[in-house]
Amino acid sequence: MSDLYLDSTAIKCFLDCREAFRLRYIENLVAAEPSFHQAIGIAVHLAAETHNRGGSFEDGLRLAADELQKFPENLLNPYSQTRFRELAAELPSMVACYFDEIDNSDLEIIAIEEEWSYEYLPRVFLCGRKDKVGRRASGDYVLFDLKTASEIGKNWKAEFRGSMLRDFGLALYDWHESRILRVPSTVKVECLVKPYKTKEPRIEIFDLPEITAYRKRFEQQLAWVVNEIVHYHNYYKDQHPWPMAQGQCLTKYGPCEYLKVCCFGRSNKILSEYIPRTEHLEVRRQREVPADSALNEANQKGRERNHNWNKSHK
């Protein structure tokens, strides 16, 4: 009997495309070509953590640079390799931008890079890692999340804010903070806009109090999606494919990493372009993908919760 751990990335993947969720979290397949944007984001997060803990710019830059040195850029295509090298060369300016523009002097830092897990249903755990939680002199809690973004399009700022309001992770972290009685008064996104051509890196702060106002609605959405994932695991785990995405598989940000296997099938040539997935959360790294039997009790409990919720809202 294994436990099921769901973070916001897994839940968002399920909502976007159930087949992508199945390939990633049941078959444990990810594209062999690594994401250099993710590598840059991890490096910046390490530097930001150093700053938030009171460390020096030099220490933050060293940690970030050491992380980027591990990245296998030889696996990238020529265009991605060029862009990665451009961003890697700008790493000092990006780290300096965060150190210069983020001031924590008016906050009591409560948590930094805090991993958490919460048993939502029997043997079904929600989990994640919060970037920063602070408390103001007034006693109000503020939930912070660091994002890196590229400035794409004239309306990118409005589009980015809209995407953050729909971001499942921010709402999930706010939900968990409320459960442990550190109820945030607002959610703030520290967005590090990556440099491009003549544009320098900069910090944009997005204040998102709407997320705290949506808590009740989010609780309803969370109950639905967790029970839906449990249901799929319990009844359809050995079947494929699952329903595909309702939206586009190819966007301005690039194709879905599973587009080839969905379009061209599971030949040895196609599957050679994928490798086993590795976990980034310690709480999930110690767990394997759950067996069907691990979810029987959780699925039954979920159906009971749904039944009770429907009765109370008639």
pLDDT at 285 over 90: no
pLDDT at residue number 252:
67
Return the C-alpha torsion angle 223, 225, 227, 231, nearest 10.
170
Token representation of residue 189:
């996104």
CA atoms of 125 and 284, how far apart (whole Å): 10
Q: How far apart are CA 216 and CA 235, in angstroms?
A: 29
Q: Which two tokens stand for residue 199?
A: 């544009």
How far apart, in whole angstroms, are the C-alpha atoms of residue 39 and residue 28?
20
**pLDDT digits 0-9 by tens, 159-214:** 999 999 999 999 999 999 999 999 999 999 999 999 988 889 999 999 999 999 99
Q: How much is the pTM?
A: 0.85
Each residue's pLDDT tens digit, 61-78: 999 999 999 999 999 999
Contact present, 16 and 67 (Cβ < 8 Å): no
294 domain-assigned: yes
Q: Is residue 200 part of a domain?
A: no
123 pLDDT above the threshold of 50: yes
- pLDDT for 287 equals 63
Can you tell me the distance from the alpha carbon of 162 to that of 156, in angstroms, rounded to the nearest whole number? 10
Q: What is the pLDDT of residue 310?
A: 42
- Which token pair is 184? 């945030």
The maximal CA–CA distance of the chain, rounded, in angstroms, is 60
Whether residue 50 lies inside any domain: the answer is: no
Task: Determine contact, residues 87/36, Cβ cutoff 8 Å.
Answer: yes
Q: Domain for residue 208, yes or no?
A: no
Range of the domain at 257: 4-31+219-312
Strand pairing category for 124-135 and 108-121:
antiparallel
- Rounded to whole angstroms, the Cα distance separating 249 from 30 reads 16
Query: Do residues 101 and 110 lie in contact, with contact meaning Cβ atoms separated by under 8 Å?
Result: no
Report yes or no on 207 lying in a domain. no
Tell me whether residue 271 is in a domain.
yes
Task: Look at the chain and report how many structural domains it folds into.
Answer: 1
Q: DSSP letter at 265?
A: -
Model pLDDT, residue 254: 79
Other C-beta atoms within 10 Å of 284: how many?
Answer: 22
- Distance between CA atoms of 210 and 242, rounded to whole angstroms? 33
CA gap 7, 21 in Å, rounded: 12
Does 138 map to a domain?
Answer: no
240 within some domain: yes
Which of 97-101, 236-240, 268-272, 291-295 bottoms out in mean pLDDT, i.e. has the lowest?
291-295
Question: Quick one: pLDDT at residue 100?
Answer: 97
Sign of CA dihedral 189, 192, 194, 198: positive
Other CB atoms within 10 A of residue 106 CB: 8
